[in-house]
């Protein structure tokens, strides 16, 4: 049970950390679960030092990110097949096709709603890709 503004809700809530370099510092979780839904925060391939583990390689960054997302979903009791929406943030328009191809390798049969957005930059210059996802168990 969770109490919110004097009301009692019978919703299962859970927060999961992946140990990323900014989660505790900036006050967020890798995954927040509410009932049958999971919300995966923007995820990069940042190592403990905050820099990309695959600098200069957007495809490798996207693959690593989707593996982090899959592990976090699993810890929360969800599968990649439960993903209903993804958002891909890419720092270079020329990398969208590369990142989208990796997305297609992972989600080809699942086909969640998806958006790709070009952004000026991410939290650390070596990071070229950030992906977030929403999942729902039927």
What band does 17 get if pLDDT is binned at 50, 70 and 90? low
Q: What is the DSSP string of 111-138?
A: --EEEEEE-S--SSTT--EEEEEEEE--
What integer pLDDT is reported at residue 1 of this predicted model? Answer: 42
Instruction: Quote the pLDDT of residue 9.
Output: 44
Residue 68 and residue 74: Cα distance in Å, rounded? Answer: 10
Considering only the top CATH level, what class is 12-136? Answer: alpha beta
Q: What is the pLDDT of residue 48?
A: 87
Mean confidence (pLDDT) of the chain: 88
Q: Please report, for the chain, the start and end positions of each structural domain, with discontinuous segments joined by +.
A: 12-136
Confidence of residue 30 (pLDDT cuts 50, 70, 90): confident
Mean pLDDT, residues 105-114: 97
Model confidence at 61: pLDDT above 70: yes
Tokens for 53, please give them. Answer: 């583990």
Mean pLDDT along residues 50-56: 96
Could you give the CA distance from residue 85 to residue 124 in angstroms, rounded to a whole number? 25
Asked if residue 21 has pLDDT above 70, the reply is no
pLDDT of res. 19: 63
């Amino acid at each position: 049970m969770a109490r919110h503004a004097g009301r009692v809700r019978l919703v299962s809530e859970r927060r999961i950390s992946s140990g990323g370099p900014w989660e505790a510092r900036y006050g967020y979780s890798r995954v927040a679960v509410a009932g049958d839904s999971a919300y995966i925060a923007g995820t990069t391939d940042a190592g403990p030092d905050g820099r990309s583990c695959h600098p200069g390689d957007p495809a490798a960054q996207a693959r690593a990110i989707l593996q982090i997302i899959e592990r976090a979903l699993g810890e929360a009791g969800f599968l990649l097949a439960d993903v209903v929406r993804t958002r891909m943030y890419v720092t270079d328009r020329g990398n969208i096709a590369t990142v989208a191809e990796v997305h297609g390798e992972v989600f080809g049969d699942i086909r969640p709603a998806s958006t790709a957005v070009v952004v000026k930059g991410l939290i650390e210059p070596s990071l070229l890709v950030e992906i977030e996802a929403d999942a729902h168990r039927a």
